[in-house]
């Protein structure tokens, strides 16, 4: 049973030039304890998918979906108030740039206390209040410890600007897991971190997903760094998911030419013999959302394009993957030279 | 101080400490950079790597002239910063980290690129325009981009515009602080190819700080490993990345090639 099941999620944005469809019929499912990576070029709509899952309300954005089930509850049938409550209890979101998401004018202490589950009756008993304050601090410290922060007293008493990027990220993770969410959404959590910090953050997230069965959806451009971290990969191009499948399947036998080009670039960069050498890259540019091609959106850059590609390809179910292409690559095409 | 014409940059005994009041300084004298010495020959490119708070950004900002070192000398082509300000400003151009804030949103690309020319040269209008288009060409941008605003550009295009701004004065060295990261694999390969082409065709050197060792291997000849403000190792890229004996470098490499990372033979 899938924990989160989304069908045909569409996100439209109102601009001065009319309504643009940015995310087009994205379907996602995620099982408990699994990690799904959402990859693709910047501007392919990855972040919008996440914001849509959180149903962040903004005036110029319209969300729609055919199905949105969380833990077997159909959220589309609920009122927006109930929906927000369920999403808030079950999903946590860590946005890009942890330093900017923390409130710069409050101590970390205050911010952590704020997100911890509340007890209301304490106001009446001052003594119990003190007691609770103490346990509150203890809970906060325990949370920080679990997120790999050892010198908790310094962290609790500092402002976000006094901390380094990785410390902020760990605080964000501690705050996100305070409510024991079932799903954790992360938008580029390791970008701009230093080498060792990246590893620490990934290890921490891995621990949460293994121990607490938290499902994770992670957005990352850097697929090489999260290769062994994610169980499943979904590649987005121009607002559509072009390929989705397990790591083994996708990296061994990608079906969609765009996925293949990404994986090939990654491997060429990884090859030490290529130092100071030019490497073959995909040419052309990402289509503009104002003038989307009618057929396959990758068509202009695809070297396998044929006449049939003027019709939009539908999602095809493969054995371990799903792809959106009329002419999927055969097994082993990644390593052949043509 | 001996410096031949071959040396592009030589840094000797560079120390830097946060400017603070004399009171704090009496009790804490924490230098961010301690006694850094290295030199780079003409046509060589450098990557500075290190852990958090190792002083990478401070070192590159000191080379760019954005901060004044507490002690030590940096020679550019054998001249100090003070003695030839104009030369330094034209030949050493910096690219900043955050694309969205690096470019002025209220100016068109053509105006963004024009500003360095207006400040540093006395070119005529048509010469300037010609230079701008040839530079756009150099970074693989179409001419039509010149009249657009930064907000209309994609992430990769913004990156290229900041490269173009750095390149417009025909500099010898481009400094980039952490700005060559967080790309998808295709764009990453594209930008690396572009830098390699600049290095080969225009004989431009690059000095970068990065946490992506694959990029460092791809585009630089030398690597400088920093730890807590001191030089741990300085030498040939291939040698350091393949067979370093130093413990700190090894730890860095181990952390980089961690269990989650893609490896070719797995
Ligand atoms: S449908 Fe055609 S154009 Fe699109 S990716 Fe497949 S082969 Fe290429």
- The ranges assigned to domains in chain B are 7-265
pLDDT band at B190, cuts 50/70/90? confident
What would the pLDDT profile of A167-185 be if each residue is shown by its tens digit?
999 999 999 988 888 999 9
Q: Across the interface, which of B242, B255, B263 has its CB nearest the CB of A195? A: B255
Interface test with A, best of B100, B219, B262, B266 (most A CBs within 10 A): B262
Percent of chain A with pLDDT over 90: 30
- Is residue A103 pLDDT above 50, yes or no? yes
Q: Counting every residue, how long is chain A? A: 338
Q: What is the mean pLDDT of chain B?
A: 85
Q: Is B72 helix (H, G, I), strand (E, B) or coil?
A: strand
Q: Is A69 in the pocket of ligand 1 (CB under 6 A)?
A: no
Interface test with A, best of B149, B189, B221, B244 (most A CBs within 10 A): B189
pTM of the model: 0.88
| Burial per residue of A318-337, b for 16 or more beta-carbon CB atoms within 10 angstroms, e otherwise | eeebbbbbbbbbeeeebeee
- Is residue B207 pLDDT above 90, yes or no? yes
Rounded to whole angstroms, how far apart are CA atoms A175 and A108?
Answer: 10
Q: Is A242 in the pocket of ligand 1 (CB under 6 A)?
A: no
Alpha carbon of residue B161 to chain centroid = 15
Q: What is the per-residue pLDDT for A139?
A: 84
Q: Which atom of ligand 1 is nearest to the CA of A256?
A: 5
- Is residue B176 pLDDT above 50, yes or no? yes
Quote the number of domains for chain A: 1
Contact A152, A145 (CB under 8 A): yes
- Is residue A98 pLDDT above 60, yes or no? yes
Task: Please report, for the domain that includes residue A245, its CATH number.
Answer: 3.40.50.300
Q: Residue A100 corresponds to which tokens in the numbers above?
A: 């900017």
B250 touches chain A (CB under 8 A): no
Interface test with A, best of B180, B186, B266 (most A CBs within 10 A): B186
- Is residue A210 pLDDT above 80, yes or no? yes
Give A52-55 contacts, CB < 8 A, sequence gap 24+.
Answer: A52/A9, A52/A11, A52/A23, A53/A4, A53/A6, A53/A28, A53/A91, A53/A185, A53/A217, A54/A87, A54/A91, A54/A93, A54/A185, A55/A83, A55/A84, A55/A87
B25 touches chain A (CB under 8 A): no
Rounded to whole angstroms, how far apart are CA atoms A199 and A138?
Answer: 27
Contact A6, A36 (CB under 8 A): no
Rounded to whole angstroms, how far apart are CA atoms A333 and A215?
Answer: 32
CA B226–ligand 1 middle distance (angstroms): 47
Q: Tell me, yes or no, whether A228 lies in a domain.
A: yes
Q: What is the per-residue pLDDT for B3?
A: 43
Supply the range of the domain harboring residue A263. 4-100+181-335
Q: What is the per-residue pLDDT for B1?
A: 40
Q: Which atom of ligand 1 is nearest to the CA of A258?
A: 5
Pick the residue with more confidence: B182 or A126?
B182
Q: Please list, in sequence order, all residues whose beta carbon lies within 8 angstroms of the beta carbon of residue B69, skipping any fewer than 6 positions away.
A: B14, B15, B16, B33, B62
- Is residue A132 pLDDT above 90, yes or no? no
Looking only at Cα atoms, what is the longest distance across chain B? 58
Q: Tell me, yes or no, whether A132 lies in a domain.
A: no
Percent of chain B with pLDDT over 90: 25
**Are residues A194 and B51, on separate chains, in Cβ contact within 8 Å?**
yes
Residue B130 CA: distances (Å) to CA of A165, B103, B134: 42, 21, 6
Q: Beta strand A35-40 with A232-237: parallel, antiparallel or unpaired? A: parallel
Q: What is the per-residue pLDDT for A123?
A: 56
Q: Across the interface, which of A221, A269, A275 has its CB nearest the CB of B237? A: A275
Contact A261, A333 (CB under 8 A): no
Q: Please list, in sequence order, all residues whose beta carbon lies within 8 angstroms of the beta carbon of residue A67, skipping any fewer than 6 positions away.
A: A5, A6, A7, A8, A74, A76
Give B54-57 contacts, CB < 8 A, sequence gap 24+.
Answer: B54/B226, B54/B227, B54/B228, B54/B229, B55/B16, B55/B226, B55/B228, B55/B229, B56/B177, B56/B209, B56/B226, B57/B177, B57/B178, B57/B209
| Helical pair B109-120 and B155-167, crossing angle rounded to 10 deg | 20
Q: What is the per-residue pLDDT for A30?
A: 92
Q: What is the per-residue pLDDT for B5?
A: 52
Q: What is the per-residue pLDDT for A279?
A: 86
- Rounded to 5°, the CA angle B79-B81-B86 comes to 90
Residue A226 CA: distances (Å) to CA of A67, A322, A326: 29, 21, 29
Q: What is the per-residue pLDDT for A37?
A: 94
Residues of A in Cβ contact (< 8 Å) with B252? 195-196
Q: What is the per-residue pLDDT for B24?
A: 65
What would the pLDDT profile of A144-164 be if each residue is shown by its tens digit?
998 888 888 999 999 998 888
Q: Please list, in sequence order, all residues whose beta carbon lies within 8 angstroms of the beta carbon of residue B232, skipping any fewer than 6 positions away.
A: B50, B225, B226, B246, B248, B249
- Is residue B72 pLDDT above 80, yes or no? yes
Contact A220, A292 (CB under 8 A): no
Can you tell me the mean pLDDT for A137-147? Answer: 88
- Is residue B61 pLDDT above 50, yes or no? yes
Q: Tell me, yes or no, whether A176 lies in a domain.
A: no
Rounded to whole angstroms, how far apart are CA atoms A59 and A48?
Answer: 14
Q: What is the per-residue pLDDT for A127?
A: 63
Residue bearing the CA closest to ligand 1, atom 3 = A299
Can you tell me the mean pLDDT for B183-197? Answer: 88
- Is residue B30 pLDDT above 70, yes or no? yes
Give the containing element (helix H, strand E) for A13: strand A4-15
Pick the residue with more confidence: A236 or A289?
A236
Of B11, B29, B121, nearest to B69 by C-alpha is B11
ipTM surpassing 0.90, yes or no? Answer: no
- Is residue A217 pLDDT above 90, yes or no? yes
Chain B residue with minimal CA distance to A229?
Answer: B260
Can you tell me the mean pLDDT for A13-37? Answer: 89
Can you tell me the mean pLDDT for A206-216? Answer: 90
Q: Across the interface, which of B52, B186, B237 has its CB nearest the CB of A194? A: B52
- Is residue A15 pLDDT above 60, yes or no? yes
Q: Residue B165 corresponds to which tokens in the numbers above?
A: 């701004």
Lowest average pLDDT, out of A4-8, A188-192, B172-176, goes to A188-192
Q: Tell me, yes or no, whether A9 lies in a domain.
A: yes
Q: What is the per-residue pLDDT for B52?
A: 81
What would the pLDDT profile of B80-139 be if each residue is shown by its tens digit?
877 777 777 788 888 887 766 788 889 999 999 999 899 888 888 899 999 999 999 888
Q: Residue A177 corresponds to which tokens in the numbers above?
A: 């897991």
CATH topology of domain B7-265: Rossmann fold (3.40.50)
């Amino acid at each position: 049973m899938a924990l989160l099941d989304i069908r045909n999620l569409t996100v439209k944005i109102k601009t001065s030039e009319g309504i643009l469809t940015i995310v087009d019929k994205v379907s996602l499912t995620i099982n408990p304890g699994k990690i799904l990576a959402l990859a693709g070029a910047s501007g392919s709509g990855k972040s919008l998918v996440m914001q849509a899952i959180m149903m962040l309300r903004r005036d110029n954005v319209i969300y729609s979906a055919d199905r949105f089930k969380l833990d077997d509850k159909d959220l589309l049938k609920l009122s927006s108030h109930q929906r927000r409550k369920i999403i808030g209890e079950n999903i946590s979101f860590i946005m890009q740039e942890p330093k900017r998401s923390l409130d710069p004018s409050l101590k970390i202490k205050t911010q952590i206390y704020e997100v911890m589950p509340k007890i209301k009756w304490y106001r009446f008993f001052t003594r119990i209040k003190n007691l609770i304050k103490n346990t509150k601090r203890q809970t906060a410290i325990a949370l920080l410890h679990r997120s790999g922060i050892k010198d908790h007293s310094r962290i609790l008493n500092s402002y976000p600007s006094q901390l380094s990027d990785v410390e902020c990220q760990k605080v964000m993770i501690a705050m996100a897991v305070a409510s024991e969410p079932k799903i954790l959404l992360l938008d580029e959590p390791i970008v701009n971190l230093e080498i060792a910090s990246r590893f620490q953050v990934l290890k921490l997230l891995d621990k949460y997903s293994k121990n607490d069965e938290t499902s994770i959806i992670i957005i990352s451009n850097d697929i090489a760094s999260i290769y062994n971290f994610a169980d499943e990969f979904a590649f987005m191009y121009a607002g559509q998911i072009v390929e989705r499948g397990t790591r083994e399947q996708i990296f061994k036998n990608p079906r969609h030419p765009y996925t293949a080009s990404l994986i090939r670039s990654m491997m060429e960069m990884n090859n030490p013999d290529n130092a100071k050498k030019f490497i073959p890259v995909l040419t052309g540019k990402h289509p503009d959302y104002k003038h989307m091609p009618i057929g396959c959106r990758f068509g202009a850059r695809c070297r396998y394009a044929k006449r049939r590609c003027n019709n939009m390809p539908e999602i095809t179910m493969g054995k371990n993957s799903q792809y959106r292409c009329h002419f999927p690559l055969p097994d082993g095409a990644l390593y052949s030279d043509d | 101080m001996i410096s031949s014409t071959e040396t592009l940059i030589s840094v000797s005994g560079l120390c830097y400490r946060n400017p603070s009041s004399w009171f704090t300084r009496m009790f804490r004298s924490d230098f961010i950079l301690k006694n850094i010495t290295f030199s780079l020959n003409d046509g060589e490119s450098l990557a500075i790597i290190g852990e958090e708070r190792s002083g990478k950004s401070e070192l590159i900002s000191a080379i760019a002239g954005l901060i004044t070192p507490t002690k030590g000398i940096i020679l550019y082509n054998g001249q100090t910063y003070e003695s030839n300000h104009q030369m330094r400003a034209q030949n050493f151009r910096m690219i900043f980290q955050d694309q969205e804030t690096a470019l002025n949103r209220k100016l068109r690309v053509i105006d963004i690129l024009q500003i360095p020319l207006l400040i540093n040269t006395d070119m005529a209008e048509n010469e300037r325009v010609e230079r701008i288009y040839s530079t756009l060409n150099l970074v693989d941008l179409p001419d039509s981009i010149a009249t657009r605003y930064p907000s209309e550009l994609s992430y990769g295009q913004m990156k290229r515009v900041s490269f173009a701004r750095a390149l417009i004065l025909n500099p010898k060295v481009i400094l980039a602080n952490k700005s060559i990261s967080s790309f998808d694999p295709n764009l990453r390969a594209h930008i690396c190819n572009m830098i390699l082409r600049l290095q080969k065709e225009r004989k431009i050197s690059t000095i970068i700080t990065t946490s992506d060792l694959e990029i460092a291997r791809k585009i630089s000849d030398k690597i400088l490993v920093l730890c807590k403000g001191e030089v741990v190792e300085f030498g040939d890229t291939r040698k350091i990345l393949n067979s370093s004996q130093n413990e700190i470098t090894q730890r860095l490499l181990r952390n980089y090639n961690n269990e989650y990372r893609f490896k070719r033979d797995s």
